[in-house]
């Protein structure tokens, strides 16, 4: 990457006076250094809802945030509320159960609720938080179906609060560098995208393998990265989808819980995408974008990092740090400053992915191409 392109990227990422720490790795010296600047602007005060494994990752990453901090906790487990409250210095009167969290409307020390509960609860928890007058960040997938997603968007609009979706990769530096290259025409006319998303899932009793709680299987959990990635990497909205499901273990993957799905997307320009989502195949974490002048690849593309990339020109060496730190500082700027991200993270963005996933399941069930209307 040239000095000019790196400078251009950083200027865009640091717009609206957002300050984010970047960890740079020096290949030559093997040493690391941190680029920091003075904090500017108000701090986003966040209540974490659902204190599970991913919330733990978010909480730890937020300790390095410049513009976001944990000021509230919501959980159904009293012991977790006490443990997390002590660890992150959240007072008892800002710790809530799922039954009483509506009372956060009276807590002026909370700006936003970050919903990190099982998929089936996103709808209820988002609407309740919005009615309490709080902005919402909802983990992906935003909803189980299009009806739920639209109701969540409407509830937040009626309450005058923002609805964002936890698309951490929308702020990932290597990803944004490729999009910059595409927009500058360095890849030429985009013709093809490949997205591979999957792993072998473990404990068969976990909620992700429960249709009632998850709303599906691999597609809604890990395949959504390829659904969403195809859209922002190609730079268009798909107009059709075809899909095929493969299931080899009907005991672990019961009815309504997909094991492996292959799906194909078509775009208005003629570009096509070929994607794979699986809960039973390891080492699937790759994006490949091809144009008539060059290519770009991310491998790994969606893991917690470090994300690695290369193009027809060179390897990408953008900074790596905790993705959730970057995500939360950027979301603070969106909520508090009205910043417009390079890749949207709002409820409409989340709803588009839900529409595509519904169409993928329909294509699997019918064996027929499904037309898409996302705009």
Residue 63 and residue 325: Cα distance in Å, rounded? 8
Candidate list 96, 167, 225, 279, residue with the active-site label:
225
Candidate list 140, 162, 352, 355, residue with the active-site label:
140
Sign of CA dihedral 205, 210, 212, 215: positive
3-state helix/strand/coil string of 65-132: CCCEEEEEEECCCHHHHHHHHHHCCCCHHHEECCCCHHHHHHCCCCCEEEECCCHHHHHHHHHHHHHC
Q: In angstroms, how far apart are the furthest CA atoms of the chain? A: 59
User: Among residues 183, 190, 138, 140, which one has the least CA distance to residue 163?
Assistant: 138
User: Among residues 127, 120, 118, 119, which one has the least CA distance to residue 150?
Assistant: 127
- The strand pairing partners of 198, in sequence order, are 278, 284
Q: Is 225 a known active-site residue?
A: yes
Radius of gyration of the chain, Cα coordinates, nearest whole angstrom: 20
Q: Is 232 a known active-site residue?
A: no
Residues with catalytic function = 140, 225
């Amino acid at each position: 990457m040239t000095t000019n392109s790196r400078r251009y990227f950083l200027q865009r990422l640091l717009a609206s006076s957002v300050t984010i720490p970047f960890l740079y790795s020096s290949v030559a010296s093997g040493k690391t250094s941190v680029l920091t600047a003075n904090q500017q602007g108000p701090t986003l005060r966040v209540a974490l809802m659902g204190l599970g494994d991913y919330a733990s990752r978010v909480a730890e990453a937020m300790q390095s945030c410049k513009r976001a901090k944990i000021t509230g906790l919501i959980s159904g487990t009293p012991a977790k509320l006490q443990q997390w409250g002590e660890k992150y210095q959240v007072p008892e009167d800002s710790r809530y159960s799922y039954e009483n969290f509506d009372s956060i409307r009276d807590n002026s020390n909370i700006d936003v609720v970050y919903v990190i509960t099982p998929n089936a609860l996103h709808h209820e928890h988002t609407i309740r938080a919005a009615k309490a007058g709080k902005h919402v960040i909802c983990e992906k997938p935003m909803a189980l179906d299009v009806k739920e997603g639209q109701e969540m968007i409407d509830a937040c609009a009626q309450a005058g609060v923002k609805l964002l979706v936890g698309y951490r990769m929308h702020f990932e530096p290597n990803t944004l560098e490729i999009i910059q290259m595409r927009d500058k025409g360095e890849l030429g006319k985009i013709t093809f995208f490949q997205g591979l998303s999957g792993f072998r899932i473990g404990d068969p009793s976990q909620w992700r393998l429960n249709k009632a709680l998850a709303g599906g299987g691999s597609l809604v959990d890990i395949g959504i990265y390829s659904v969403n990635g195809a859209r922002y990497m190609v730079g268009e909205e798909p107009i059709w989808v075809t899909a095929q499901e493969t299931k080899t273990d009907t005991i672990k993957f019961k009815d309504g819980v997909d094991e492996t799905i292959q799906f194909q997307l078509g775009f208005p320009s003629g570009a096509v995408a070929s994607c794979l989502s699986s809960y039973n195949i390891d080492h699937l974490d790759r994006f490949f974008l091809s144009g008539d002048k060059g290519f770009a690849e991310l491998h790994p593309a969606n893991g917690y990092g470090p994300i690695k990339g290369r193009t027809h020109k060179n390897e990408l060496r953008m900074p790596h740090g905790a993705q959730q730190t970057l995500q939360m500082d950027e979301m603070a700027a969106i909520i508090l400053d009205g910043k417009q991200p390079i890749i949207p993270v709002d409820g409409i963005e989340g709803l588009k992915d839900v529409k595509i996933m519904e169409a993928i399941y329909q294509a699997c069930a019918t064996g027929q191409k499904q037309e898409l209307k996302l705009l």
